[in-house]
Amino acid sequence: MANHLLSLWDFDRDQLKAYLDLALQLKRESKAGVRHQHLVGKVVGLVFEKPSTRTRVSFEAAMYGLGGQVIYLSSRDTQLARNEPLKDMARVMDRYVDALVVRTFGQEVVEELARYSTVPIINALTDLHHPCQILSDIMTVIEKKGSVEGRQIAWVGDGNNMANSWIQAAGRLGFNLTLACPEGYDPDPVILKAAQDDGIGRIEVVRDPLAAVKNAEVVNVDVWASMGQEEEQDARLEVFQPYQVNDTLLGAAKSDTIVLHCLPAHRGEEITDEVLEGAQCVAFDQAENKMHIHKAILAKHLS
């Protein structure tokens, strides 16, 4: 079977650490002027059913940075838009490209593609997971804090795709994760329970954002309405207001606590302009790291 990346639980602790180590190495080397050639002659197809700035461009830049090439396919330009079965798409695309990077709605879409594809399927965000993003976020934690194991990390806001992937990472990599989510917006209960049962990190869901950030070394924030939830935007604005990451909330954390935001940010909603532009926020370094982690993922899955 091809080496797919559908969620972080496709990998054990050592494999996750290997992505992080390789990304840090590739970043160091490319800053030193090394021109990498890991994927010369390889082609990756990017199939995106939702918009993207960072993930698309960083995967493309990563592939070119390793000597490979990409073909970008917006879903509306493919026969997916006219309901061609995924199993047919998978069995055609795998004859043209060496891997498919897919951003879509249901996790079952990437799972179905993976069932039929002989080349790796890489999840570039579904409604349930955003695994590649969390790897670049953890890389950023390692850079800023020296390590991730044993650290106290907070998630403030929606129990969404990002939260689910953070939960999986906490279980596997062994850090403590406290998620402050409003009632009715908890992370996926199956993922949460599995991570709590099997994981080595302590993972808990609380309602009070202050309690989550109080001892946190890292505070994570994401949009209140994810892609596909646009109709819920107004209702969510009200529910999530107490979960805004602002100077008052951040004041409850330590002065060296860092703030992560995967971007795009909605200033004045989940995060204030002051916090996003402030010294504790590392969102733009985090965005850069997407490219380095994507290089590591592509090198490991395609070499």
Among ligand NVA, ligand CP, none, the one that 53 touches (CB under a kind-dependent 5 to 8 A) is: ligand CP
Residue 226 in contact with ligand NVA, rule: CB under 6 A: yes
Any contact of residue 263 with ligand CP (CB under 6 A)? yes
What is the longest distance spanned by two Cα atoms in the chain?
54
Nearer to ligand NVA, 121 or 125 (CB): 125
In sequence order, what are the residues at sequence separation of 6 or more whose Cβ sits closer than 8 angstroms to the Cβ of residue 275? 245, 246, 247, 250, 259, 281
What mask of x and - would describe binding to ligand NVA in positions 105 to 124, judged by CB under 6 A? --------------------
CB of 197 to ligand CP, least distance (A): 29
What would the x/- binding string for ligand NVA be over residues 233 to 272, using CB under 6 A?
-----------------------------x----------
Interface residue with ligand NVA among 140, 152, 161, 176 (CB under 6 A) is 161
By C-beta, is 61 or 227 nearer to ligand NVA?
227
162 binds ligand NVA (CB under 6 A): yes
Q: Are 7 and 168 in contact (CB under 8 A)?
A: yes
User: Which residues neighbour 198 within 8 Å (Cβ) at sequence distance 6 or greater?
Assistant: 171
Site string for ligand CP, 127-156 (x = CB under 6 A): ------x-----------------------
Order across the sheet with 43-48: list the strands.
69-74, 43-48, 99-103, 121-123
Give the CB-side neighbour count of residue 159, counting CA atoms within 13 A.
23
The answer to whether the CB of 159 falls within 8 A of the CB of 188 is: yes
Instruction: With contacts defined by CB under 6 A, name the span among 154-162, 195-203, 240-248, 292-300 that binds ligand NVA.
Output: 154-162
**Residue 284: CB minimum distance to ligand NVA, A:** 15
In whole angstroms, give the CA distance from residue 264 to residue 189: 26
User: Do you find a cis peptide bond into 264, omega within 30 degrees of 0?
Assistant: yes
